[in-house]
Amino acid sequence: MGVAGGLAERFDINVYLVRAIFVVLTIFWGLGAAIYLVLWLVMGSSLTPSDDSVAVARPRVSTSHRLTFAVVAAVIALGFLAVAVLRPVGALGPSVGLAWVVFLLVLAVVAIKTSSRRLTIRRVVGVAFLTVTSALILVISAVLALLASTGVPLSGGIGDHHFSPSSLARVRHAYHTEFGVATIDLSAVEFPVAGFSLVATVAAGQLDIVVPADAVVSLSTSVGVGRVSTSSSSVEGAATAPYASLPTGLSGGRGRSRPHVTIDARVGAGLIDLMRAVSPS
């Protein structure tokens, strides 16, 4: 009897339905094949008909040992997620969530195969901890998967970052923040007429950008989940007004001789707030 046959007999459903589910899951990231292999390893002893006359007693792993193993695995999974949050490690976060789903399925199969035993305080605490950590793992993985789908890099650190370059030489071509608020105050910079390009990203949080009073701005914005605002807000060190691509009182034809700056602003989830500095004169 194979894995599909064993599951069909256990849940009293058609074996062809079980096989169809495995095929569909295999199409999506090979998940069906992974689950099939794990179940084959776990259920291997029950898939082969036994002969009572030659049966050999096998040592059984206690429920408490399985629970301890599951709790340790949950802590390790949370550790991997912490690494995925603190350092840009590609698809590590979503992969941990997917692996945890497979692990929970294996636990469910083992629980079905194991006879019930009396409850103890240790088991209740362990199951409660496993339930909370599982929810946390799945939520964090889902958030990281959502942010990864927006294309915004998970890099630049966590917290509130304030950048106020005083000259063009101090302006970077890229500003990145992972989680938090990034404020880029360009009001004191004299950009060249030939133009200057920069990219500013926040994976989750808020991105505030103050452009110079006299600069012509070519702007592109992208927000996965959230909005773009052009209203004035309080930024330390700069008097601001609502954003406009051209300086106040300047028509399109007269802007050719003014400083130019091209900004690509992207936020995975949160807010982009754009402001123009007010000329001191």
152-175 pLDDT, tens digit each? 888 888 899 999 999 999 999 999
Average pLDDT over residues 55-83: 67
How does the average pLDDT of the chain come out, rounded? 77
Least confident window among 45-49, 170-174, 198-202? 45-49
Q: Total structural domains in the chain? A: 2
CA 214 and chain centroid, separation = 38
138, 166: one domain: no
Residue 165, domain extent = 161-277
31, 110: one domain: yes
Confidence of residue 53 (pLDDT cuts 50, 70, 90): very low
* pLDDT higher at 276 or 117: 276
- Residue 50 near residue 5 (C-beta atoms within 8 A): no
Rounded CA gap, 194 and 179, in Å? 33
Backbone angles phi, psi at 36, to 5 degrees: -60, -45
Q: How many residues does the chain have?
A: 281
- Residue 205 near residue 175 (C-beta atoms within 8 A): no
Which of 123, 150, 177 terminates a domain? The answer is: 150
* pLDDT higher at 264 or 145: 264
156 within a domain of the structure (yes/no): no
223, 124: one domain: no
Instruction: Select from 154, 14, 47 the least CA-distant residue to 90.
Output: 154
Which of 89, 120, 150 terminates a domain? The answer is: 150
CA 201, 258, 234, 167 torsion: positive or negative?
A: positive
- The pLDDT, as a whole number, for residue 54 is 44
**DSSP code of residue 245:** S
Least confident window among 112-116, 128-132, 147-151, 258-262? 112-116
Give the pairing type, strands 260-277 and 240-242: antiparallel
230 within a domain of the structure (yes/no): yes
Which of 108, 130, 150 terminates a domain? The answer is: 150
